[in-house]
C-alpha cells in the first residue's frame, strides 16, 4: 500500500515536471517564432532598402554625370592615348595637392608674408568648365517621382 502511494506520488511529480517543461518549451518556441518573424520582416525591409540604394548609387554614378562633375569641380578632362605612361618611373613627381587641414591653416598663417611659393604648388583649376545639364543634376528622388509623371490624381 505504502509502496503504491510512493509510486503514485512520484509519477505525479514527474508528470508535473514534464508538464511544466512542455509548457515552457512551447512558450520558448512561440517566442522564438515571433523573433524570427520580426527578423525576417526586418531583413526584407533592409534588402529592399539595399536594392533602392543600389539603384541610387548607380544612378548617381552614371558615367556622363561623373564626367561632367569631374570637369566642373576638378578640372579634369578626357585622357588621350599619348598620356598613357608605360613605365612607372616616367610619372613626374606629383605636386603637393592635398594638404591636411591643420597644416594648411598653419601654412596660411605662417606664409602670409611670402605666399607665392605655396601658390605655385597647387594645380591651377581649369577656367572653362562644362556645366551639367538639368538631367545631370536631377536627384534620385526626382527620378522616382517622375516615373508616374508625378501628377496628382
Partner 1 sequence: MNNFNRAKIQVSGQKRSVLDMARSRLMLLSLFFILTYIVVAARIVDLTIIQGEMKKGEETVSMLEAEPVQKKTAHRADILDRNGIILARSLKTASLYADPELIPDKQIVAKDLVKIFPELTYGETLKKLQEPRRFVWIKRNMTPDDQYKILYLGHPGLSFMEEERRLYPQGPLAAHVVGFTNTDDHGLGGLEAGFDKLLMESDEPLMTTIDVRIQHALRRETASAIKKFNGLAGAGMVMNVNTGEILAAVSLPDFDPHKVNDKDKDALFNRLTLGVFEPGSTFKIFTTAAVIENAGAGMGATYDATKPLKVGRFTISDYHAEKRVLTLPEVFMHSSNIGSVKMAQQVGTDQFVNFLSDLGLLKAPDIEIPEVGAPLVPKPWKEINTMTAAFGHGIAVSPLQLVSASASIMNGGILVKPTLVLDKTLKKDKGNSVRVVSEKTAHRMRQLMRLVVTGGTGGKADVAGYNVGGKTGTAEKDSGGRYDQNKLRSSFMAFFPAENPKYAVYILVDEPKGNKESYGYATAGWVAAPAVKKVIESIVAIEGIKPQDSDELGGTLDAYVKTKEQIAKEKQLAALTAH
CA distances, 110 to each of 10, 15, 105, 114 (Å): 91, 87, 8, 9
Pick the binder of partner 1 from 2, 79, 89, 125 (CB under 8 A). 79
Binds partner 1 (CB under 8 A): choice among 1, 3, 4, 80: 80
Residues contacting partner 1: total by CB under 8 A: 37
Contact 128, 72 (CB under 8 A): no
Q: Smallest Cα–Cα separation from 140: which of 27, 69, 53?
A: 53
Range in contact with partner 1 (rule: CB under 8 A) among 19-27, 105-113, 118-126, 136-144: 136-144
Distance CA 21, CA 15 (A): 10
- Tell me the C-alpha distance between 45 and 56, whole Å: 16
At a CB cut-off of 8 Å and minimum separation 6, what does 65 contact?
Answer: 132, 136
CB of 144 to partner 1, least distance (A): 5
**Region binding partner 1 by CB under 8 A among candidate stretches 17-25, 78-86, 92-100, 101-109:** 78-86
Segment contacting partner 1 by CB under 8 A, of 11-19, 82-90, 113-121, 124-132: 82-90
User: Count of H helices and E strands in the chain?
Assistant: 6, 0
Q: Which of 130, 128, 131, 135 has its CA nearest to residue 62?
A: 135
Establish if 78 lies at the interface with partner 1 (CB under 8 A).
Answer: yes
User: Any contact of residue 131 with partner 1 (CB under 8 A)?
Assistant: no
Contacting residue, 17, 28, 29, 108, with partner 1 by CB under 8 A: 29
Binding residues vs partner 1 (CB under 8 A): 29, 33, 45, 47-49, 51-52, 54-56, 58-59, 61-64, 67, 78-82, 84, 86, 135, 141, 143-148, 150-153
Amino acid at each position: 500500500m505504502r509502496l503504491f502511494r510512493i509510486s503514485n506520488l512520484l509519477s505525479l511529480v514527474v508528470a508535473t515536471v514534464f508538464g511544466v517543461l512542455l509548457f515552457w518549451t512551447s512558450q520558448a518556441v512561440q517566442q522564438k517564432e515571433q523573433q524570427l518573424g520580426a527578423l525576417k520582416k526586418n531583413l526584407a525591409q533592409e534588402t529592399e532598402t539595399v536594392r533602392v540604394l543600389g539603384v541610387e548609387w548607380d544612378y548617381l554614378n552614371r558615367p556622363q554625370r561623373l564626367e561632367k562633375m569631374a570637369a566642373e569641380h576638378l578640372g579634369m578632362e578626357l585622357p588621350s592615348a599619348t598620356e598613357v605612361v608605360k613605365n612607372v618611373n616616367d610619372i613626374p613627381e606629383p605636386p603637393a595637392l592635398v594638404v591636411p587641414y591643420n597644416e594648411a591653416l598653419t601654412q596660411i598663417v605662417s606664409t602670409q608674408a611670402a605666399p607665392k611659393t605655396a601658390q605655385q604648388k597647387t594645380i591651377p583649376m581649369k577656367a572653362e568648365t562644362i556645366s551639367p545639364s538639368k538631367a545631370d543634376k536631377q536627384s534620385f528622388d526626382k527620378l522616382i517621382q517622375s516615373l508616374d509623371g508625378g501628377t496628382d490624381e
